[in-house]
Amino acid sequence: MLKLIVNATKTAVIVFWLACILSVASVIPSPYASFIIGFGAFVLVGHLLEYLFIKYRFGERNGWKISFVQTMIFGFAHWLPMLKQPE
């Protein structure tokens, strides 16, 4: 069940980041584009804080390799499966 939730989240996040890219490229109309870009900036800052927290809290556990890029794109969907693995 966790794998299904993680894969659905990753798919939704990819769609969201594509919407952000289209908003920056002015493909999405103005009132929606500004909201999407603002929300994208908020999510990006949240993922940066999440990366820093996870890196310094759990980073050395079991030799984890917490990827900065994947955490910035997927957030918890990247590192949560690693956290759920048995030690």
HSE toward the beta carbon, residue 17, CA cutoff 13 A:
13
Query: What pLDDT is recorded for position 61?
Result: 65
One-letter amino acid of 15:
V
The runs of H, that is alpha helices, within 2-75 are: 2-24, 30-58, 68-74
- What pTM does this model have? 0.75
pLDDT tens, 29-84? 888 999 999 999 999 999 899 888 888 877 666 666 777 888 888 887 877 777 77
